[in-house]
Structure 1
Amino acid sequence: MRDRPVRPIILASASGILLPLCFPRFDLGLLAWISLIPLHLALDGSSRWTAFRLGWLTGTIGFTGIMSWVVTAMHTYGKVPLLVSYAIMLLLTVYLGLFVALYSAGLVWFRSLVPRYGLFAAPCLWVSLELVRTYLFSGLPWSLLGYSQYRQIDVIQIADHLGVYGVSFLIVLVNVAVAELIAWLMPLFRGFVPARLPWELVTTSAILVGLSWAYSTSLIVSEERRVPKSLLRVGVVQPNVDQAMKWDKAYRDETLKRYDRLTETLGAGTDLVVWPEAATPFLYEREPLYQLQLLAIAHRAGAPLLFGSPAVRFNADKKPFLLNSAYFLSPQGALLGRYDKQHLVPFGEYIPLKSSVLFFLDKLVEGIGDFEAGPGPTVFSFTPKTPVPGQTDAAVTRTVKFGVVICYEVIFPDLVRRFAANGAEFLVTITNDAWFGDSSAPMQHFSMVVFRSVENHLAFARSANTGISGFIDPFGRIIRASPIFTEEAFHAEIPALQSRTFYSRHGDVFAYGCVLISLILILFGLFRTEGPAHSTVAATPV
């Protein structure tokens, strides 16, 4: 009997160890469908407080494995002492682990509130907590469970209605169903008569997985037959500029020459050239000499140029502030538009509550100052060289619209879908992932772009300073992805589609529906009349 308390801890730890394996760089996405089973078995017969602690253990171990790159970003590039970096990472992962703790306690509670059928609400609770994580304290929806399936194209097309949260829902439902099935089978091996077979959960999960697969495969087959209104030849540049040299004035000329040389290799047939976030090692609007050099590069490219550069503006009291901006230049040097990053990175681009509570802190990464958020989504337009498919006249072209998101913004589903809702026909993301070093973070970051493509059925082009740069088609298939820390430029043909998915139009309706279901159950539990029938937790022996 002494080893009984140890068994749930081992099971909860096992789920924590399995979770990081589902994401890059391990990339064993299929494990996600069984990774939570040990935790669910550990919760069987537990009290809510015990379930909370077991879930917290699972979440802390899991997120420590997933977010280990935080140490690299802070210590190597932020110059934070190594021990302090580990302490901050642990503080972050303990916080993220709380969401798994709340899920675990809630699951046990729901099962006691509605015996046998309360577990149907478990995936709703998980999705609700993922949605809270997306917005709470500025939001950190990094490595939501659904992202583990970014390579399973024949399953994830449901995201065009349900978002990434729908895939998370499906994964959790399967984990719950299989765990209950195992719990039902275990007494058979001990010579006991098992409880009633949880056929409702098993059948529901099997049907929903089957419907997801059928919808995804049929959608891809049918949509591939459509002729896109435009096929654009987009080129991305990955300069691989060392972060330590990026803002050193001594390397400005060398950096611009590198961009010039790489851009020239894209060739004359390119419709759009994309450089990364903060590509210019200077403030574009404040350096006339370097500005002329950049305009000359755009002219030689013979195509519109999209690039990142900080911009400076002034408040009413003449106090300056910075914007993380993307500029869009014509080949003739005219400014076609500018987009200012809306969702900034806390402790990377600004310090939350710096004027009152956290006045003693400085940013964890080296840079040129604090930034402020831009006003909202901006859609650019241009006329490509490529003719419209099906037209014999090569001169027949049309205006194409696209949106650009900068770095961290791409992990926020609702933010990206607003560009699609505003008329974007393809999307671009520019980033500087050099802060992550040679860790799992660049691939984790890239994998999330797959879901932004699927949710809106729009192609994505991605330019990153040190990688990963590449292209993703409207169904989430990776057309090309570059290795990290390589210097290269390449192009691909991507479709420009006027595609308006349910998700593009309505956003996270499904996720908020899950929140509503969870709240109804919680209110039922808080206000129900207590009685003898509710004094104990119905548990299946394992």
Structure 2
Amino acid sequence: MLASSLPPRGWWPLGVAGIGLLGATLRDVTARCRFLLGALAGATLLTVGLWWATGLHFGGGIVLIACQGLLFGLIGPLVNPVRPWTALTGAVVLVEALRWRWPLSGLPFASPVLGQVDAPWVAIAPLAGSLGVLLVTAAVGGALAAGLAAGRGKAITMAAFSLALTPFVLSGPWPVSVENGRADVVRVAIVQGGGPTGTSAATGDPAVPLRRALALSADIPEETDLVVWAENVIQVSFPFEDSDVAASLGVLAAENHTTMLVGVTENDDALGEVPRFRNAAVVVEGDGQVGDRYEKVIRVPFGEYVPLRDLLARVVDLSRVPRDAIVGEGPPTVQTSLGTIGTVISFEAMFPQRVRAAVSAGGQFLVVPTNASSYVGPDVPAQQLAGARLRAMETGRAIAQAAPTGYSAIIDPDGTVRRLSQLGSGEVLTGEVMKRTALTPFVRFGDGPTLLAASVFVGVAWAPTAYSRWSRSRSMYSISLD
């Protein structure tokens, strides 16, 4: 059920039911059994949600799924088997928060919250972020399961729906922005070059995406303020400013009187024995000059770099990841003639805290250059799109997402997808995004309040058990003294 709630299927009610049934299985069993049941549920969910990783390396993908499943299994020991429903609400949130941060940089893909992007309680996202959405999801699922278990389904169901309406009450007084008017509108053109999916950067011709993007950019509508190219469209040697491509883009930007934000991969093999590269989003202003840049900070493990490369190279084939990305620095923004643009590159857009940092640093709207062309099928692009919609709602910022083969999209601050490309097609998406400066409560306070609430749920569930054990031990001590 949890797997069926994930994009591209997106049957969100099954995610609610799946969490509730998981809680039901954890009732009246040992801690070891609860861990194994949680790990089994996680392995099933992640086999569906992360199967695309086996396309990069089959063995590595299987190991990834197994390790992530074991992390998911930690939900079980956190749940009190006597009263599982309260603890379940907090345990799901705490374990997902861990999975988004560890190991390495974390992995927010295949998270149950991605399946809740169309649920009614997603309205709580500006207040409490994606973890807040997940907290309500787990609470509703647990309440429904508790009602069925207790034979009071009707009453508990009504209580659960009342709980589901709570986010609307809570999020009502928190407007995400106060700006409006034509002066704050940016006219955007997103260039998706198109082409087949399943094309690896290590084996594909790097000139092909550039040619496609240049061809489509010749038809940019007049009065376009910002043209966005996808991640990795341009591949040059470091530095980009001195390349022929930079000169050509300068001419293109000047002819169209527009600002361009383009995805650039810069090979820099002078930094060590292992070839290195920089993954950057670079500004080309309307006067033809190369402007500000942002270099990707959160890299894809085993996609953009290989941890313990020297050791792993002895036992596995690493030819599909021949180079390691250089870690960028600084806030995820670029300064342009249009103002400050929050810029997060591909994988980074799945991390709420990274996008929150972009808005906190002054990003008035968000641009996400991404690249899922290495993967076959819609799973990765669909999960990325769901993540982008959640980021828009959390931060109250419009998003322009550009991908070489899809999905490219223009997303409103309320998560509505206003423009969406087709997978594999070559097209230019045009639309308007609003520049905003107001901050949502999530941007101001982050995940801290939600993590505290989740901890309280777990603590409250275990408190009677802990008190009972303490009382019994005290009674035994008194008996022994007598």
* TM bin (shorter chain): 0.7 to 0.9
Secondary structure at the aligned position of 1:323 is classed as: strand
Q: CA deviation at 1:157?
A: 2.3
User: What's the counterpart of residue 436 of structure 2?
Assistant: 497
Please point out which of 132, 135, 139 is paired with 1:173: 139
User: What's the counterpart of residue 311 of structure 1?
Assistant: 266
- 1:96-175 paired onto structure 2 within 5 Å: 96-107=68-79, 110-112=80-82, 116=83, 119-138=85-104, 139-152=106-119, 154-175=120-141
Pair 1:223–1:165, CA change in 2 (3 A): same
Please give the TM-score of this superposition, normalised by the length of structure 1: 0.78
Residues 1:335 and 2:290 aligned together: yes
* Residues 472, 478 of structure 1: 8 Å contact kept: yes
Pair 1:533–1:23, CA change in 2 (3 A): farther
1:57-113 Cα offsets, whole Å, 9 max, x none, are 211112111112222x31xxxxx4xxxx1x433322222222332212321xx244x
Residues 1:531 and 2:469 aligned together: no
Pair 1:501–1:64, CA change in 2 (3 A): same
Q: CA deviation at 1:264?
A: 2.4
Please point out which of 19, 29, 32 is paired with 2:12: 29
Equivalent-residue separation in structure 2 for 1:216 and 1:523 (angstroms): 30
Q: Percent identical across equivalent pairs?
A: 24
User: What's the counterpart of residue 66 of structure 2?
Assistant: 94
Residues 1:259 and 2:213 aligned together: yes
Give 2:436's aligned amino acid: L
Secondary structure at the aligned position of 2:354 is classed as: helix
User: What's the counterpart of residue 276 of structure 1?
Assistant: 230
Equivalent-residue separation in structure 1 for 2:16 and 2:304 (angstroms): 36
Structure 2: tracts of 5 or more residues without a match: 476-482
1:158-178 Cα offsets, whole Å, 9 max, x none, are 111211001111111111111
Secondary structure at the aligned position of 1:491 is classed as: strand
User: What's the counterpart of residue 230 of structure 1?
Assistant: 184
1:204-255 Cα offsets, whole Å, 9 max, x none, are 64433112134557878x9699557511111100002557586789773x64
* Residues 194, 404 of structure 2: 8 Å contact kept: yes
Give 2:108's aligned amino acid: P
Q: CA deviation at 1:440?
A: 1.3
- 1:368-407 paired onto structure 2 within 5 Å: 369-384=323-338, 400-407=339-346
Q: CA deviation at 1:149?
A: 1.8
1:116-143 Cα offsets, whole Å, 9 max, x none, are 5x63232111111111111111201113
* Residues 403, 424 of structure 1: 8 Å contact kept: yes
Please give the TM-score of this superposition, normalised by the length of structure 2: 0.87
* Residues 354, 361 of structure 1: 8 Å contact kept: no
* Aligned CA-pair RMSD: 3.3
Residues 1:211 and 2:166 aligned together: yes
Q: CA deviation at 1:350?
A: 1.0
Pair 1:440–1:248, CA change in 2 (3 A): closer
Equivalent-residue separation in structure 2 for 1:309 and 1:367 (angstroms): 18
Pair 1:88–1:200, CA change in 2 (3 A): farther
Give 2:218's aligned amino acid: E
Secondary structure at the aligned position of 2:312 is classed as: coil
Give 2:328's aligned amino acid: G
Pair 1:505–1:364, CA change in 2 (3 A): farther
Please point out which of 48, 53, 69 is paired with 2:52: 69
Equivalent-residue separation in structure 2 for 1:316 and 1:365 (angstroms): 19
Paired residues, number: 471
1:450-498 Cα offsets, whole Å, 9 max, x none, are 1111111000000001100011111111111111111111211111111
Q: CA deviation at 1:449?
A: 0.4
Residues 1:20 and 2:38 aligned together: no
Secondary structure at the aligned position of 2:76 is classed as: helix
* Residues 210, 233 of structure 2: 8 Å contact kept: no
Equivalent-residue separation in structure 2 for 1:63 and 1:30 (angstroms): 18
User: What's the counterpart of residue 299 of structure 2?
Assistant: 344
Equivalent-residue separation in structure 2 for 1:228 and 1:149 (angstroms): 33
* Residues 155, 213 of structure 1: 8 Å contact kept: yes
Structure 1: tracts of 5 or more residues without a match: 1-17, 75-79, 186-196, 385-399, 535-542
Please point out which of 23, 27, 38 is paired with 1:44: 27
Equivalent-residue separation in structure 1 for 2:202 and 2:224 (angstroms): 29
User: What's the counterpart of residue 461 of structure 1?
Assistant: 400
1:1-52 Cα offsets, whole Å, 9 max, x none, are xxxxxxxxxxxxxxxxx11110112121122221233333333332222222
* Residues 332, 357 of structure 2: 8 Å contact kept: no
